[in-house]
Structures are given as C-alpha cells and as structure tokens.
Structure 1
Amino acid sequence: MSTSRLRLRRGGWLSLTTITATVLAMPALASAATPTLITPACVWRLETTPSTANVAFPDSGATYWTTPFTVQDGLQVTVSGSYADARYTSLTVYDSNRSPFMTNGVSSSLPDYLTAPDAGSINPWQQTAVPGGHFTVTLSPNAATGETNTVPLAPAGTRSGRTGYLIYRAYLPADGNPSSIPLPTLTFDQDGTSVTPPVCGSTLSSDPPTTTTTAAAGATVSSAADSAGPQFARGSSGTGGLFPNPDNAYLSEKLTPPTGNTVLVIRGKAPRTPQSNDPIPWPSATSDIRYWSLCDNLAIPPLPVVVNTLPDGSLDYGCRADYRTRLDVTGYYTFVVGTEAQRSAIENIPGATFVPFSNAHPTAQHILLFRNLLGGEFEESVQNVPSDNRPASAAAVMKDYYPRSALCSLSTLAAEGPQACLRGS
C-alpha cells in the first residue's frame, strides 16, 4: 500500500509532493463573478483519515477536512454548521506555517463544547440533547476576547496574499462512518461581496478512506531510556508544520523492535472516557478526558502509523484507542507491542491488548505516541506534564496513569504477568 498519496474529494490520486506544492501552497482560485474577492473554488477539498497516504503520526480514530484560503484585507469567513454525532469535533485556523496561533488573546482553535449554539438550538456538548443543532462561527481579522464564536482569521500583521488553513476535525463518529459527519458551509465576505463555495464533490461513503498530513504530532520525541528500556516523556511542543491539534497532548518513546521472544510491555491506569461516541456535556463528572490512544509509528519519513496486512487481507493499524483497550478489574491497561506472529500468544494473556510492530520494517526505529485529548481539567493528564523530555517528570504528574514500559520476554509475561516485567521501571 502506498504511503505517499492523498485523495481529493473530487477523486484522483496526487503525490504528497504535489499536494504540498499545489493544494497547500496555492489553495485559492479567483471567482469569476467576484474578481476582487479570492475564494476557494470549493471547500473541504481535502478529506483525510489515516487509512491511506499514511503520514505524520495519524490516529486511526480521527478524520480531518481542510480548506486552504487566501488572507485578504477586510476578509471575514462565516462557518455555519450542525453539531455532529461524534466523540469530539473542533474548528482550528492555522497560519501559513501550519501552526495554530493567538491574536488579541483569542485562540485560533474552537473545540465543540465551547462552540455556542444558534438561537433556538442546543449544543449537545453543553447540555444533553440529540445532535443536530446549529452553530455559526466567524473567522475575523479583528477577533477580540469576549466575542462569542469568533476566532482570528490570521496572526496580527499577516500580509494580504498569505495562505491560511481551516481544519474541521472529528473523532469517532457514533455510527463509525466519517462520511456521515455534516460539513459546515463557508461564506467568504469582503467589502459587501459574499461568496459561498460549494463542498468539493460528494461524500466518500463508497470510496476508500484517505489519510492525513494533518495528524497532530508536533512533539519532539524523547529518546530517554534507563535499565528498564525506553520510557515515555513529553517533548517540546514545536509544531513542525504538522497542523497540531491544540486539544491534544502527547507522551512519546522510541525504540528498535526487539528480536527473539522479547516484547515491549506498557502498563498504566486508564483515565475515564465517555462510554459511547455520542456527545456528552463537557466537562463531565463521569469522564476524566475525552479520548486517549496509543499508536505505534515508524520513525522514518513520512512518519506513518504501523499498518500490517493480515492473512485474511484485512489491515491492522498500530493504534489502539480507549474503547479498543482491555482493562483489568483494577482499571489498568496492559499494552504488549510485538510482532504479528506473537499476536495469538499475547491476546491469550489476561488483560493484554496487542499492538503491532511493523511487518515491512522490522528493524526500523519505531515511535510510540500516547495521546490525551481534552485532559487539562484532569490533574494526571498528559496536558499537565512539563515538556522537558524527562520520564521522571511525566511519572511525577501522572502517577498511576503514567504508562510505564519495559522490554520483557513473552514467556515471562505469560507466566508471571506484567508486574514481573515492570519491576525495574
């Protein structure tokens, strides 16, 4: 399977290089009817998920829709949409360096639970309601604190003609189908001229899903290790041009897959998350964070998540989200990262969740990312860990929720349990 292609909503494959050079660097087309207002020919042209074009640390639970636009003097963009039936959604504006930003103290990112509903509608992340209510968000060059549903169009001082990007994210649609997510309408206004471009193409309900260059990483990967093997730490938060999600925070560790009968064991207490993928009022008294996952990625460009083809032809992606993770009676998870050949033995261990190393690149360095989404209110979340590349700092903040890891023989793990493997970590 190719790992360097993106699929556009109108169909047709383009190389990652072509996408970067054209869709991202030259996104806007002049409207014939409005020569002074530059607008995209259509919106949400790039729909991406981590199933193909596997790049930039994707999470298999997420889908992204991207609209590049041209910053212009006096431009305002109105986003009109319906609340989706999904675990999480957000709107984020990025600058020409593909980074989120603050202008006049206002963040360029607006998560679901902070998005106010239109009159007569209800936000299902603010109070219990069936999804489907409406919202209106404004991208304004003059965004100021205290304004409802207003985010900055571009950083202060951005010259006219620069490129900006609007990304709409959704994690875990309740029906499992990203094409069921209603995409917002975008209206571009400037000096009395208004243009509402159509959505590009139709939904991809029968098309193969696509992957993303916008999966949020942006964290420097820690290579810290001790006698127990690699350990998770939080790196510096440089954005690295990867369109990071401001609502996510990451721990990371890297290693070369062990040989023989050795596996990587990762164990910690699981934070509470919503028990379904339908929206719930947030913050929640019954959930600590909105979503968490562990993903195994290759540390070689284009930084794909591991994907293995199984004997039946299905694909095994190297991500395990909270709802796919087994817990023991005390609420602890045990991830065991090994080869597909070890899978059966690992899955027979009580409480163990198998995560694959790459079949195609068994000697390449791997990067493991432990994600927390919307965890700032939870004291033991990754969001509260200092970005100092020190495992000890992460462990001190997260306590039982810190993912301790160690290399261990599979036979020891099976016979004595994960505690025997983690005694020295």
Structure 2
Amino acid sequence: MALASLGASSATAQGVDTTCTLALTKTDPATVNVAYPDEAAIYWVGAYQGVPGTRLRITGRYPHARYFSFNVYDNAVRPIDAIADVEIQPDAGSMNPFVDGASRTAENRDYTAFIDFGPIPEQRAPNTIYTGTGQTGPNFSGTFILRTYIPDKGLDETGGVGLPTITLESTAVDGGRPSDSACKGLAKPPVPGVAQALADGAFPFQPKGLDAPGQPTPKWIKFRNLVQVYNRVVTDNPFFDSATEPLETAEQAGGNGGFLSNIHNSYVYAMLNRSYGEVSITRMKVPSTPDTRGGVATMPTAPLRYLSMCTNEIASQRFYACATDDQTTVGADGFAEYVVSTKASRPAWATSDCGFTWLPFGSATENVLVLRHMLPSAAFPEAIQRAEIGKEVATMGDYFPATRYLKDGEQPACRATRQSTGPSLGLPPSTKPGRCTSRRSFTIRLNRRFRSATVTVAGKRVKTRRGKRLRAKIVLKGLPKGTYRVRIVGRDRKGRKITTVRTYRTCVKQAASSKRGSKGARA
C-alpha cells in the first residue's frame, strides 16, 4: 500500500477505508470464543501497523447500548490504551448519550475518534488513543477492539447504528469526516448452538489428582496478567499450593492485563473442580447498575456501569455462559447467590423463583468462574479496580465473592428476592425517607393433601398450626418493596414428598376499599 500518497488529492486525503475487516473479524461464540470473553459483549477486531505519518480515523454514531469502547493491544495481547464511550466528545451539533442524565434517544449522536501510532504524550489530543507506548517499551503493531455491551432490546449488535467507519489516513492532511463505509451494515453470519451445546454437555466425570486445578474451598483472586493465570492453573491446588507464593515474582514481571482484557474492566476469578463437588454456590453483595436494556430515555446514574459472572473453560478460554447484572437474581438483603453445576446435576431449587442464579459448569472436569466490574464511580470504593491482589476482601468487603461446594443432598432454603423495576435486578434496597415498607401479615392454608409440612419464609422456618387444614402465619411487616417466596415442603398421607413455592409481593397498590372509600393502599 503506497501510504506516502495519502493526501495527494481530496479523494485520497480521506484515506483508505478498512471497515470491512471489522465485520469479518467479529467474534462469534461458536468460532471465535477465546481469551475469556463475556457473553453479553460483541467484539469487532482490527489490526494496526504503526507506520509513521499515518493514523486511523474512526467516525460513527453512539450506539443505543449499555457501553461501548475502543481498546488497543500489543502483540502479547496486553492492553495499551483505551477510550470509553463517556470519554468520547461528540461532534459539533451532536450529544453523548452515555453521560449521566443525558438523553439516550437523541437523533444527533455522531463522534470522531483517532488511533495514533505514536507514544502517549503529556497532553493528549481529544478523542485519541495511542499505540506507541507499550508496557515494556516502544510498540509498533498489534490489534484494536471495538466492544459493545447489551444493545437495547430489539436492536442489532451494533446498537442500531451500524459499524463505525475506520479510515487509514495521513496525519499531514485532515481530510475531514469521510462518507459512511459501504461495510457499515455488513455482518458475519452467526453459527448458533455450539456454545450452548458445550454448556449443556458434560464429559464423563474423571476424578483428578491433587495436582489438578482448584481447591476444596475455591480461592478468588484479582486478575493481573497471563503469567499469573498460568501460575495459578499449575499451582492453585493442594499438591503445588506451596509454590504459588514463590512464583508471584514472575507474575509481577508479566505486566498488566492479557487475554485481550478490557482496560475498563477489572476481574476476580476462581477455579472450580468437580472432584470437590458437583454443585457450588457463590455468594456476594451486588451493586446497582444502570438499567438500559429496555431502552430508557435518559442515562441512569449508578455506582457501577456493568457486572457479570461467567463460567469459562480453562484450556480453550471459551465461555460456557454468563449472567449479566440484569440477569442476576438479587436477594432482599442485596446479595446474589450463583449456583454452578452441570445441566444433569442442576438442583431443582436452583432457579430465580427460589432466589438463585444458575450457570452451567460446562463439559470439562474443571473450569474458571470470572466476575467483572466495569467503570466504577467514585461512589463505589469497593470495586475490584481498587482492590490489591491478595488483599481483595479488605477493599471489597461483602462485594468479594465467596464460594463453597455443597454437600450431597444439601438443599439451601429459597430466598426472599428484591423486586426489579425493569430488566435490571441489581438495584440496592432503598433507604430514602418516604419509601414503602410492608404492612402485610396473613395466614395461609395448605392444601388438604399435606399431612405434615415445613414452611419457610426467606429461609426462616415458620410455625405451622393444625386444624382441618394445616395453617401458617406469614409476617412480611417492615420488609422493603419486593417479591418474597414461601417454601412449603411436606408429606401426604402416603408419605410422598410434596414441595410448593408461593410468591407474595409487598408494597403493591391494593384495590379500592368500599368501606374506606380510599384510592387504595400499599401493603
């Protein structure tokens, strides 16, 4: 390519359109599912060669989505620089819909960004990321990635705006904003079903020795780099455990990030092994996140932009499945509990109705569980980004996950869950004055089939009373607005086990009372 000729005329001043490579390199769970990706993210990958006197111009429209960004990487797939949606200044006459409180439906939403092949200067140019400053010295080539997370419901993977136009141009002449690329709407055909088949399947269980990845009590640690992961895969087990700490010096020499990690995310991970249990449960507190999937009109303010929990295969790095923040069931206490097992071993109680979020273990005997935090605000000091490796719990507190394997036959009680105000279930309990607390207290009568029964509310046992039918008093007084589940486990006259779950909501507007003549009350 004769790059020196760029700028020789008005036509060539606008450079060479390279957008089509993005469409062809879009990741797909069936064909390009590596580097521990997130199921909710769509990735478009391009390559760059740092030729002096050239740069990449990116012109596009802000997508209707939870998040988008550009990251640049070196040849060791470590991140060098990045720019997030909220950091990209809009073109004249346009607005950035990712700013807190901004309109997400604005029609004028154009932006222009640049990938500069030089080193990072003391004073950055607006909307520009740089590839020339590597983690260990000058950098001259690598890849860049466009990410989009959770497009609004009903829109395509680009968030309804098509791909941005990527133009290789000369830095000597500013050719201005080019016309949209002919490949703007090009999409690589998907290959559906492969990831789901791997998630649902399971190879025959083969007990592993003490040198297999994982511990009887899984250990969570903040992700640092590739060297750290390789060290933990080899030594995070009862046999080599004593070697983990001595090898940490090598981890520190491996730089920051890897596996094409996103600069705007931080991660903690733990290795699981079916040798220690077929079912594991992970508990942690969940911060609130902006609810955008349904297409809200303005950008909500939240302490964290995005959260997900994923199960990944260690060897191939592919994801089996991920639960995003708005797919996570959150208890009335603000905690989430993730249950991981093979599909065949999935407990009957591992459902959102019972207060749990289930994820498939996958087909291997061991896997890795990955938790992501994205773009925390100053109002969230417990974010992974602010934690020190090896001392994560000191910073994260209850937001740091804890995992254990369930004993054979163990059946946790169903949990009271928080009511969602939309697709996102990650909303913290309100402490603002004037918000509703429940006044509900009532008696339930059990089906005549029950000869004996145990009744629990949010995991706490409730006394049952006998009569013509078994009865139990349910007290929801003082609880915040939410959905609460009552679990009934009993036996019929033939000794057969019966299990039922009833759901009750608090702070729901009641029908008008004819006696009081009121407009309705909230209970």
Q: TM-score, normalised by structure 2?
A: 0.59
Q: C-alpha separation between the residues in 1 aligned to 2:314 and 2:399?
A: 25
What is residue 305 of structure 2 aligned with on the other side? 290
Aligned with residue 345 of structure 1, among 341, 345, 348 = 348
What is residue 12 of structure 1 aligned with on the other side? none
Q: C-alpha separation between the residues in 2 aligned to 1:402 and 1:117?
A: 36
Structure 1 residues 305-339: Cα deviation after superposition (integer angstroms, max 9, x where no partner): 22xxxxxxxxxxx2111111111112211111112
**Greater Cα offset, 65-74 or 125-134:** 125-134
**1:210–1:128 CA distance, 2 compared to 1 (3 A):** farther
What is residue 383 of structure 1 aligned with on the other side? 385
**Contact 1:69 1:165 survives alignment (8 Å):** yes
Paired residue type of 2:355: G
* 1:203 Cα offset (Å): 2.9
**1:371–1:199 CA distance, 2 compared to 1 (3 A):** farther
Bigger radius of gyration among the two: 2
1:12-411 equivalence runs, <5 A: 40=18, 42-44=20-22, 45-101=24-80, 108-126=81-99, 127-129=101-103, 130-132=105-107, 133-140=109-116, 141=118, 144=121, 145-155=123-133, 158=138, 162-175=140-153, 177-179=156-158, 180-190=160-170, 191-192=172-173, 198=181, 200=183, 202-204=185-187, 207-208=190-191, 225=215, 229-237=217-225, 238=255, 241-258=258-275, 262-277=278-293, 278=295, 285=301, 287-300=302-315, 302-306=316-320, 318-343=321-346, 345-348=348-351, 350-358=354-362, 360-361=363-364, 363=365, 365-375=366-376, 377=378, 378-387=380-389, 390=390, 393-409=391-407, 411=409
Paired residue type of 2:287: P
* 1:75 Cα offset (Å): 0.8
Paired residue type of 2:289: T
**Contact 2:165 2:184 survives alignment (8 Å):** no
Paired residue type of 1:185: T
For structure 1, which runs of at least 5 residues remain unmatched after alignment? 1-28, 102-107, 213-222, 307-317, 421-425
**Contact 1:232 1:253 survives alignment (8 Å):** yes
**Contact 1:268 1:332 survives alignment (8 Å):** yes
**Greater Cα offset, 322-331 or 37-46:** 37-46
User: Higher relative contact order by CA 8 Å / sep ≥ 6: 1 or 2?
Assistant: 1
Structure 1 residues 334-370: Cα deviation after superposition (integer angstroms, max 9, x where no partner): 1111121233513357211111112x32x2x211111
For structure 2, which runs of at least 5 residues remain unmatched after alignment? 9-14, 196-212, 226-254, 417-457, 460-523
* 1:246 Cα offset (Å): 0.3
What is residue 216 of structure 1 aligned with on the other side? none
* 1:411 Cα offset (Å): 3.1
Structure 1 residues 250-309: Cα deviation after superposition (integer angstroms, max 9, x where no partner): 11111211477x411101111101122358877x64x22111111111111x22222xxx
Q: C-alpha separation between the residues in 2 aligned to 1:274 and 1:370?
A: 18
Q: C-alpha separation between the residues in 2 aligned to 1:41 and 1:86?
A: 21
Q: C-alpha separation between the residues in 1 aligned to 2:381 and 2:95?
A: 29
SS in 2 for 1:345: coil
**Contact 1:188 1:196 survives alignment (8 Å):** no
**Greater Cα offset, 170-179 or 72-81:** 170-179
Instruction: Provide the identity percentage.
Output: 27
Paired residue type of 2:219: Q
Q: C-alpha separation between the residues in 2 aligned to 1:158 and 1:73?
A: 13
**Contact 2:26 2:188 survives alignment (8 Å):** no
* 1:383 Cα offset (Å): 0.8
**Contact 1:76 1:153 survives alignment (8 Å):** no
State the Cα RMSD in Å: 3.6
